[in-house]
Homo-oligomer: A and B are copies of this chain.
Amino acid sequence: MGSTPNKDLHSSAELRTKISAKLEGIAPRARILLAASELFYRFGVHPVGVETIAEAALTNKMTLYRHFRSKDDLIVAYVEQFANENIAVLDRLLGDEAGSPEQKLGAWVDHIEDILTNDRERGCALANAAVELDVRHPARAVIEGYKQRKHDRLVEVFRAARYREPELLADEVFLLFEGARISLQCGGKGPASRLVSMLRGLLASSPRVAAG
């Protein structure tokens, strides 16, 4: 009943102006992908129709289908874009030019804090998509690859920071973060709001090996 994103979109100019603002001179394909990202993330991939996406992108359905073979193709592109963006953020925060491992981890926790306190937070777009999509949907492979890469980066940094059990620590931090994002959608503001302090405590108290 409440989930009528198309009607909501038409009646309120909110998203319309919000998307339009970034649309000056951008190619149609990019516009469509941008609009799809906003809508898919806000309402999910199933409730949002292609017509709605096209209109939000200030174009039409035909142009959409000239750039994407099908809605499933668009979903894959949406997921890939999100994965690439997130990986880019991770590269920036944890890359070679981001300082010491401790600085990297601090910056990463700050970044997490920003995400969780954002009022537009609706969980991890990729995790949400995984929930919505069938296991055989091609986007699922993209999602799995992203989560794997993210986990690997964490292990790297924990190892560089000389934690005694970098894999275990990465698993722990990974699960805590995933849990916080999903539990924010289940109304549980309490547990998620304490994630950041939990992470800082974990990083401070986990055993390390002595410096060589």
| Distance between Cα atoms of A149 and B198 in the complex (Å) | 22
- Cβ-defined partner of A187 (8 Å) among B44, B148, B168: B148
Verify A198–B168 contact, CB threshold 8 A: yes
Q: Is the interface of A mostly helix, strand, loop or mixed?
A: helix
Q: CB of A2 within 8 A of chain B? A: yes
A199–B147 alpha-carbon span in the complex (Å): 22
Name the B residues within 8 Å of A145 (CB-CB): 187
Size category, A interface: 35 or more
Whether A186 contacts B132 in the complex (CB less than 8 A), given A172-B176, A174-B179, comes out as no
**Chain A residues near B (Cβ < 8 Å):** 1-3, 43-44, 46-47, 70, 72, 123, 126-128, 130-138, 140, 143-145, 147-148, 151, 168, 170-172, 174-180, 182-183, 185-188, 190-192, 194-195, 198
A-B contact pairs, 25 of them (CB 8 A): A1-B72, A1-B138, A2-B137, A44-B46, A46-B47, A123-B131, A127-B182, A127-B185, A130-B185, A131-B132, A140-B187, A147-B186, A147-B187, A147-B188, A151-B188, A151-B190, A168-B194, A172-B176, A174-B179, A174-B191, A175-B180, A175-B191, A175-B198, A176-B179, A177-B179
